[in-house]
Amino acid sequence: MSNSMPGGRAAAFAYGAAYLATWGAATAYLYSRHADWTFPLISLGVFGVVLSGLAWALTRAARPGPIEVRRPRLELGAVLAYLAVYAIVFLGWGMGALREAVPAGQGQELVVLGVKLVAHVVGPALLLALLGARLGPLFGTAAAARGFWPTLLVLGLILLALLSLVSPSLGQIASLHPPIQDLVWAAPLAFAWLALEAGLCEEFLFRAVLQTRLSAVLRSEVGAVVIGALVFALCHVPGLYLRGAPGVDGYSTDLLQVIAFTVATLSPIALMFGLIWARTRNLLLVVLLHACVDVLPQIPDTLRIWAGLH
């Protein structure tokens, strides 16, 4: 696959315009409901424009190989059906039931991690294998690939710096007064944990599995990135609507407002990861960058659960 993200310039502009219209409608609905509409602007500007543009520049040297999709329409249909069940059953009901069934603590964390890996990685992989798809190309982990280290180091450091400024994580860590020896192991553990629980799970399912099938059917990398980002956002609706509560970002009893929130705030982040996947086909790269987004909020929980700090 060419690094230029083929699919036709006119089609690319059409997909881009359709995305902006969808994002704009979602943000306008939030504004009409007196919900927070400023964070969507920040999300689009930072993730959808600035960091995506930087990712494009950093991956210029990448030369990803093609990923063969033998039966594009059948595989995409099967993946979309799987995602519908996943979003409603797993995110909308299953995760809440699981956390209620298993007492909070280290055991619950291990069980949740295992179930997430099954739902996000094992299940989709078995589905594709049953359809005769080749799985090996989806698990690209070449750290020596062109553009890998510049993209990881530059974007990773920017993401960590950005999250340290906008999230309360550093204050939460400081409030626990952790001994330095605990931080030495807790921070790497939190990063490795998030690389598996969030990075591998979501990037394999939504980028390696879904986006690759979208690209094969649409014959447009831009279209696959855009639609994949919107599907990623919409899959979070059942969990937020059914399991959310007052005080949770984006929660509302208005289903349309929850949809608008996920599209306006989450899809720009998915655009960035989708672009990096399209340009590199390197699962390891997007997994590690995803962990950079989530690791700081995870460190306080890691200190509480695994070090017993309160």
Asked if residue 2 belongs to a domain, the reply is no
Asked if residue 286 belongs to a domain, the reply is yes
Asked if residue 40 belongs to a domain, the reply is yes
Tens digits of residue pLDDT in 225-246 = 999 999 999 999 999 999 888 8
Query: Three-state SS across 27-75?
Result: HHHHHHCCCCCHHHHHHHHHHHHHHHHHHHHHCCCCCCCCCCCCCHHHH
Task: Please give the C-alpha separations between residue 284 and each of 136, 137, 142, 180, 194, in angstroms, as whole numbers.
Answer: 13, 12, 7, 29, 13
Question: How many Å is the Cα radius of gyration of the chain?
Answer: 19
User: Which of the four pLDDT bands, split at 50, 70 and 90, describes residue 8?
Assistant: confident
The conformation of residue 246, written as its DSSP 8-state character, comes to T
CA distance 310 to 305: 9
Q: Which residue type sits at 224?
A: A
Q: What is the mean pLDDT of residues 281-288?
A: 96
Asked if residue 145 belongs to a domain, the reply is no
Asked if residue 249 belongs to a domain, the reply is yes
How many other β-carbons are positioned within 10 Å of the β-carbon of residue 31? 15
Helix (H, G, I), strand (E, B) or coil at 143: coil
CA dihedral 235, 159, 303, 205 (to 10 degrees): 30
Asked if residue 218 belongs to a domain, the reply is yes
Residue-number span of the structural domain to which 15 is assigned: 9-138+154-307
Count Cα neighbours of 18 within 13 Å in the Cβ-side half-sphere: 14
User: Which of the four pLDDT bands, split at 50, 70 and 90, describes residue 7?
Assistant: low
For residue 270, give every residue at least 6 positions away whose Cβ sits within 8 Å of its Cβ, in sequence order, or none.
206, 228, 229, 230, 232, 233
The encoded tokens of residue 67 equal 């990923």
Asked if residue 42 belongs to a domain, the reply is yes
The encoded tokens of residue 49 equal 């424009």
Q: Which residue type sits at 85?
A: V
| Run of H or E including 171 | helix 169-175
CA distance 54 to 51: 5
User: Over 50: is that where the pLDDT of 2 sits?
Assistant: no
Tens digits of residue pLDDT in 124-162 = 999 999 999 999 999 988 888 888 999 999 999 999 999
* Structural domain count, the chain: 1
CA distance 72 to 67: 11
Contact between residue 170 and residue 297 where contact means Cβ atoms under 8 Å apart: no
Does pTM top 0.85 for this prediction?
yes
User: Which of the four pLDDT bands, split at 50, 70 and 90, describes residue 66?
Assistant: confident
Longest dimension (CA), the chain: 57
Asked if residue 146 belongs to a domain, the reply is no
DSSP-derived secondary structure for 83-105:
HHHIIIIIIIIIHHHHHHHS-TT
